[in-house]
Amino acid sequence: MWRHDIPPPDGQIGETVIRFRLLLMAAALLVGSLLPASAGVSSGQPLVPAGWTPSLVQVREYLEDEPGGGTGQQALNRASQNLADLEDAQLFITYVRLMETLRSKERRELLAEQKRWLVQREELARRAVQSVGGTLGPLEYSGAFLKITEERLRILEKRLSRQRTPIDTTLHEKEK
């Protein structure tokens, strides 16, 4: 993903800590999905515990109220990118939850669909930048990235709400 190279101001490590925690959460979910059954996580068990949804709301509200810990275009660019990253983390969580409810064939289809969508999102966000090379470029990119991600999140949340419970894939191996 295209990023702007803006170092965090001295003493402003809160933003870095937030990004690090989100990265850890995403990595934990990803690693958990790759664990073999011998590690205590069978293919029929849900990856994410029922009822657990990491709360990203407070962090999002903080970022909306405190744009980047400073003033000026760079602070707005950082805050906008952080909000887009938070929405992307929420999308990832919803995607994993939806995958848990699908049969093998549907999982493969959703994976292929998500891969195509990720490429498309990058392209659409890049095309939304009108201030190429300008200081508004990163803000335009992250704003478009956020909007596109919000739309995808709504789609996956709607699909998830139509599903009942995680599928026990061991019962559906014949459907491959």
Position 13 scores a pLDDT of 45
CATH of the domain at 78: 1.20.1270
Residues 63 and 116 sit within 8 Å (Cβ to Cβ): no
Average pLDDT over residues 75-93: 90
45 domain-assigned: no
Q: What is the mean pLDDT of residues 124-140?
A: 93
Q: Is the overall model pTM greater than 0.75, yes or no?
A: no
51 in any annotated domain: no
User: Residue 12 falls within a domain, yes or no?
Assistant: no
Whether 2 is covered by a domain: the verdict is no
The domain in which residue 139 lies consists of 57-166
The count of structural domains within the chain is 1
- What are the tens digits of pLDDT across the range 92-116? 999 999 999 999 999 999 999 999 9
Residue 171 lies in a domain: no
The verdict on residue 64 lying in a domain is yes
- The tens digit of pLDDT for each residue in 5-56 reads 444 444 444 555 555 555 556 555 554 554 444 344 445 566 666 666 666 7
Nearest-angstrom CA–CA distance, 42 and 109: 21
Tell me, yes or no, whether 68 lies in a domain: yes
What pLDDT shows up at residue 147?
97
Between CA 46 and CA 77 the distance in angstroms is 37
